Structure 1
């Protein structure tokens, strides 16, 4: 009898399974290192973001990182470089089940992302799963008919325009979660590098309210521990609180301060 594969639970399913007051804590992998990805997955963090937008991580590297994380309890989420149908198809086919699409500013942007992750008639995803890791080369029984079960879509609100459109974006059918990016949001507000400026944090919490009113979970990036706790208190269901490269640099600098003379 041929061996059949069952794919892991999606990020959307994990978020939906949270109880009152619970959240998922995660970290970034930006280095492109499978060792770093495996360490992150084994660390106890509940989810890990593979960043293909601002890091030197392409399709082949993403595949290697997903394989390195396979079998660990942390859920991998892949941030694609851009809201592009062709790229999204490729990331899905290589086996990225959980996608984060950046720079979604409008309802039409959100609708385009939804279409890209679904097969016709719901969307426009190209059909090539029999040749791809997504279906484990047809080892997942009935993959085409069940593909929607295996994909989670999060879109990123990270501009003043997107904040204004947050309710419409969150209401789009097929959007599972919203993720708020304070860094680009601050830049779009003329506050570059000031992620914890009161105007920025107010815009973030305003977005939380709009998203939750639409019945969708919301998450946020917050490397400042105090700010992360405030966002959790404000209703964030998932947070990113660190990155592999940042942790390594901070640790290395602290070690150098301890041991380097002069």
Structure 2
């Protein structure tokens, strides 16, 4: 018996657009609630949210019955953490700060079992195998792992064509905030120069047969990235959704009322 089909990877391969959202609360209940919203995919953020391997595992469990596919963003592109999140049951991994083809090749290897990669074989005790209930996991898992790399620096943009040549990378996600900051614009991703770089990158990613992805935090940015051809697009962050709605509610019923 093989592991479950990675429906997110399958959708990307078929060229289908996938709309997602970020999970930053590091909490399984919040993840479960977001899993009812109807997004195609949800990012469990291990880079900037207060996650560890246990909270990542708990959110994977919370999303198991959800139609939203969980994508785990690891804090850094290291073999040890990729091994842990895959064993915890993640089938799609997003790796930040990928600046070179050499780095990207090592990430592909980290997601694959020997002899094609370096992933450790401890599957019998792993949640990914149902704790041994999927006997064919090691033989078949590689095909269901989806690797997404983040290119979010000038160095990464310069190396993009080389990164796109690497087999085993399913998609490339452009990080507007980091890219704009590296370009000297302090996070101003709406700047025309940044938008031009993003548009060119998304076009090159699609032309190479990979899925282009990006994050938009307002309607204008989101629509702009859709028009640029983004295939997997995150349209918000759960924490910001709560904060903005809570502030709007407060404004409506407290601050805007006459004293």
Please report the TM-score for the alignment, with normalisation by the length of structure 2: 0.95
Matched residue, 1:172: 166
**1:7, CA displacement in angstroms?**
2.0
1:165-217 deviations in Å (ceiling 9; x for gaps): 11111111110111111000001000112011111111111111221222111
The 1-side partners of 2:143 and 2:132 are apart by 16
Q: Within the alignment, does 1:246 sit opposite 2:255 as a pair?
A: no
The 2-side partners of 1:17 and 1:213 are apart by 15
Matched residue, 2:188: 194
Question: Does the Cα contact within 8 Å between 1:10 and 1:152 map onto a contact in 2?
Answer: no
The 1-side partners of 2:3 and 2:194 are apart by 42
RMSD of equivalent CA atoms:
1.4
1:19-47 deviations in Å (ceiling 9; x for gaps): 5xxx2111000001212111111101111
The 1-side partners of 2:196 and 2:50 are apart by 32
The 2-side partners of 1:151 and 1:116 are apart by 11
In structure 1, stretches of 5+ residues that fail to align are none
**1:57, CA displacement in angstroms?**
0.7
1:142 to 133, 136, 140: 136
Question: Does the Cα contact within 8 Å between 2:152 and 2:178 map onto a contact in 1?
Answer: yes
2:33 to 39, 44, 49: 39
Matched residue, 1:11: 8
In the alignment of these two chains, the number of paired residues is 256
1:221 to 192, 215, 221: 215
The 1-side partners of 2:158 and 2:126 are apart by 39
Question: Does the Cα contact within 8 Å between 1:155 and 1:177 map onto a contact in 2?
Answer: yes
Please report the TM-score for the alignment, with normalisation by the length of structure 1: 0.94
1:93 to 87, 95, 99: 87
Structure 1 runs (4+) deviating above 3 angstroms are: none
The 1-side partners of 2:79 and 2:208 are apart by 25
Q: Within the alignment, does 1:260 sit opposite 2:254 as a pair?
A: yes
1:95-121 deviations in Å (ceiling 9; x for gaps): 111000110001011001101110111
Matched residue, 2:22: 28
- SS of the residue corresponding to residue 65 of structure 1 reads helix
Distance 1:81-1:37 versus aligned 2 partners, 3 A rule? same
The 2-side partners of 1:144 and 1:61 are apart by 25
Question: Does the Cα contact within 8 Å between 2:3 and 2:136 map onto a contact in 1?
Answer: no
